[in-house]
């Protein structure tokens, strides 16, 4: 078991309280009813599966119930940091500082 930091509750809680809900920062179609089936399949089903850092959306399902974003390393499964849904994607310097400074936590 590992701990995930909820940026709304401002607490580290058990992974059992959370659910991953997919990639973060995806460009969504403005009018999904007007795109082709191929474009819809690309948008809805096709995702990268990188080795390294990934930006994801999570939900604190058994806590505040809110969605937030997380940066997780896919090899170690460690969370580098979490941030609120309404916050912009952190810049590379911030992410690297978190990786270097706290060993991949929060």
Please write the tens of the pLDDT for every residue from 48-102. 778 999 999 999 999 999 999 999 999 988 999 999 999 999 999 999 998 887 5
Q: pTM of the predicted model, to two decimals?
A: 0.80
What is the distance between the alpha carbons of residues 18 and 80, in angstroms, rounded to a whole number? 16
Number of helices (H), then strands (E), in the chain: 2, 6
Residue 98: in which H helix or E strand, if any? Answer: helix 92-102
């Amino acid at each position: 078991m590992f701990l995930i930091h909820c940026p709304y509750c401002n607490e580290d809680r058990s992974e059992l309280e959370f659910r991953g809900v997919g990639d973060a920062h995806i460009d969504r179609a403005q009018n999904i009813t007007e795109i082709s089936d191929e474009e819809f399949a690309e948008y809805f089903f096709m995702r990268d599966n990188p080795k390294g850092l990934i930006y994801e959306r999570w939900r604190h399902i058994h806590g505040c119930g809110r969605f937030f974003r997380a940066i997780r390393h896919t090899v170690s499964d460690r969370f580098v940091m979490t941030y609120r849904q309404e916050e912009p994607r952190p810049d590379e310097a911030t992410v690297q500082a978190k990786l270097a400074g706290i060993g991949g936590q929060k």
